[in-house]
Amino acid sequence: MLETLSEFLIPSAMAQAAGEQPSLLGSLLPLVFIIVIFWLLIIRPQMKRNKQHRELVSSLAVGDEIVTAGGLLGKITEVGDSFIAVELASGTSVKLQRASVSQVVPKGTFDAAP
């Protein structure tokens, strides 16, 4: 009776002697796999987008028609080191940080906008 009770409380697999320990490589392989997938799917594409945005911002020139991060459409009238002047409408100009430009649109878009 005591034997059956002890087998019930302590499974026989737990009572056996400990086997071999798993290898360090086998333990770390899933972690390395997750890091590689994380790098390929998240970090690398983000670095590529950042590089493209830096190139876009450095190539801005007077006369370019842009869309800002806030969604404003305008034409660049002045270019400085950190700031640009953008004409939003006839007689309305604002200064923006260069980094706030999200895209350059084709010429004529600003004039065709309602």
Domain ranges of the chain: 23-59, 61-112
Fold of 61-112: SH3 type barrels. (2.30.30)
Weakest mean pLDDT among 9-13, 22-26, 75-79, 108-112 = 9-13
| Residue 30 scores a pLDDT above 80 | yes
Mean pLDDT computed over every residue of the chain: 86
Pairing of strands 65-68, 73-79: antiparallel
pLDDT at residue 9 greater than cutoff 90: no
Which of these, 69, 109, 91, 103, lies nearest to 77 by C-alpha position? 91
Rounded to whole angstroms, what are the CA distances from 59 to 39, 69, 72, 80, 83? 29, 17, 19, 12, 13
